[in-house]
Structure 1
């Protein structure tokens, strides 16, 4: 993790930071499991951003205006939100067509989020498939 990213994570409250770091690790784990190559980590719009050549970028963040939630953001002009709604219905909370909203009061729904990350990190290969080939 580069110094700018580390400093950014250090600005979060400790209970939020641990959740965001777990989400970050999940992104890296999925990319490694799928042999997608190096994950580029940077700050975009003041949020940690993660991208690989085969996918669409993901960002993670917590905002003080939604103190009980943190988010996994994705490009709003993809088919990801519609696919997530179709696959997971009420089991997933989406913010419009740009983010998965995760409550800090509940454990990370690992299998579901892992699948969503997989679809995002392989989006360029799947974007022409119905339901992204899910």
Structure 2
């Protein structure tokens, strides 16, 4: 966690149960890896929005990650519900992910995450305003 520059975000990660903290840090790592591997994304800003670690790039839509005590064995990656993101993810990856409405991909603690598929979803979100006019967001 030493690479988290925003102290509020660092404290938020420290507030999670250890096993969930590791899982959420993996999601965070995948967000930054995806941005670094995808030239069209650029720099990602890390902050807290609605009390959740949040990630945004110019021309993209915010990604949030979080765990809630009400569902102790699950955590999630959240997307803006007024976009076509989750609808598109569901069309592409209905057999790989569990979804919550039009706003989230849900993960079970200890679940093996399909990394390539998730990075594709992350890339679509971080480039959303550049691809929203394309069928299936260019997927």
Q: Say whether the fold is shared (TM-score over 0.5).
A: yes
**What is the Cα deviation at residue 91 of structure 1?**
2.5
How large is the RMSD of aligned CA atoms in angstroms? Answer: 1.0
Structure 1 residues without counterparts, runs of 5 or longer: none
Match of 2:31 in 1: 27
1:87 aligns with 2:115: no
CA distance in 1, matches of 2:45, 2:18: 24
Aligned length: 134
Distance 1:37 1:125 in 2: 12
Q: Which residue of 2 aligns with 1:77?
A: 82
> Is 2:11 the counterpart of 1:7?
yes
1: CA distance between counterparts of 2:130 and 2:7?
32
Distance 2:22 2:103 in 1: 23
TM-score (norm 1): 0.96
Moved over 4 A (4+): none
Distance 1:91 1:33 in 2: 22
| 1:35-91: CA deviation from partner (whole Å, max 9, x where unpaired) | 322211110001000000021000000001111111000000000111111111232
Residue 105 of structure 1: how far off its partner (Å): 2.8
* Separation in 2, partners of 1:32, 1:54: 15
In structure 2, stretches of 5+ residues that fail to align are none
For 1:4 and 1:48, locate their aligned partners in 2 and report how far apart those are by CA, in whole Å: 9
